[in-house]
Amino acid sequence: MKFAFAGIDFLGGVFEALVAAGWQPIKLFSRPCDGIYDQNEAVVALARRHRVPIQLSRIRVADIEALSAEHGRDWALVVAGYPWLITGWPGRVRYALNIHPSPLPDGRGPYPLFRAVLDSYESWGVTAHVLAEEGFDTGDILAQDIFSLSGAETHETLLARCQMAAMRLARGPIARDLPALWRKAEPQGDGAYWPRVTDLDRSLDFRQPVAAILRRIRAFGTIETLARVNDNRIFVLEAHGWTEPHRHAPGAVVHAYRRHLLVAARDGYVQITRWSSVPLADADKMGR
């Protein structure tokens, strides 16, 4: 089947998996990326390898009509990690689907992985669903890949697991059985939309138990959490800790060795082992 892919490297493995399953790419829709948290180098390289056109602006009805004029209507628009709502596709393309990194209807929204770890979900998954024209991530479900989570899950492990699950969906049920899945797609029912996280969501509160603090650090991983230490704001990349009765005020630095900082929490200590200073301009924006 011919397909156009809309997304970035985050779930770019879907593009690669469909090609490996024998599907023919006809266009890449992506978006400008900052090269820090968002990248599209891999999908752009893949599109160039297959000599298909690349568009970095938002998909409009005219773009879908142009592809249908060239290839007919019997192709699929496959969306994975694309930020803009796509409308006007019914009647212009045979299939339009989104691959979303949550077990819908839970976890609708731009990036639900942080909260999956924060809220200690015992299982998670990736969902392929019909692309809805009203509301993000609300279309009928085509297929899901569900897996169990561990108590030590991190942002990075969950991201890798979602990427692998998305590729399994793409090269498995989507590549093999999309017409049949389309005919029997099931409505989601009630669900929850999870908005984009804020700096407050990323901030550590040392008045909390050690376990809750470490879970927040794991939930954001290389995206980093924020902490106030000795009246300074820092990015925290890695920390460890333990429970122990003490009389220190939460947030107090009780020990330091080289760049390792030991900070008192409500029921023990958190040792910050990898961190960097928040630039002054950024600290001012965050209410230093």
The domain ranges of the chain are: 2-184, 199-284
Q: Residue 25 above 70 pLDDT? A: yes
Q: At the topology level of CATH, where does 2-184 sit?
A: Rossmann fold (3.40.50)
The C-alpha atoms of residue 73 and residue 95 are separated, in whole angstroms, by: 9
Dihedral of the alpha carbons of 102, 100, 135, 191, in degrees to the nearest 10: -20
Q: Residue 287 above 60 pLDDT? A: no
Please give the mean pLDDT across all residues of the chain: 95
CB-CB contact of 173 with 97 (8 Å): no
Please state whether the peptide bond connecting residue 105 to the residue before it is cis, i.e. omega within 30 degrees of 0.
yes
Closest CA to 169 of 186, 148, 145: 145
CB-CB contact of 21 with 171 (8 Å): yes
DSSP 3-state of 128: strand
Total residue count of the chain as it appears in this document? 288
**Chain segment 127-185, per-residue pLDDT in tens:** 999 999 888 999 999 999 999 999 999 999 999 999 999 999 999 999 999 999 999 99
| Stretch (H or E) spanning 238 | strand 232-243
**Residue ranges with strand state E in 22-94:** 24-29, 54-55, 75-80
Residue matched to tokens 């400008």: 32
**Chain segment 185-234, per-residue pLDDT in tens:** 999 989 989 999 999 999 999 999 999 999 999 999 999 999 999 889 99
The C-alpha atoms of residue 66 and residue 78 are separated, in whole angstroms, by: 16
Phi-psi region of 9 (alpha: psi -120 to 50; beta: other; left: phi over 0): alpha
Tokens coding 32:
């400008």
Residue matched to tokens 């107090």: 252
Q: Residue 286 above 60 pLDDT? A: no
CATH of domain 199-284: 3.10.25.10
Using a cut of 0.85, tell me whether the model's pTM lies above it.
yes
Count of CB atoms within 10 A of residue 139's CB? Answer: 23
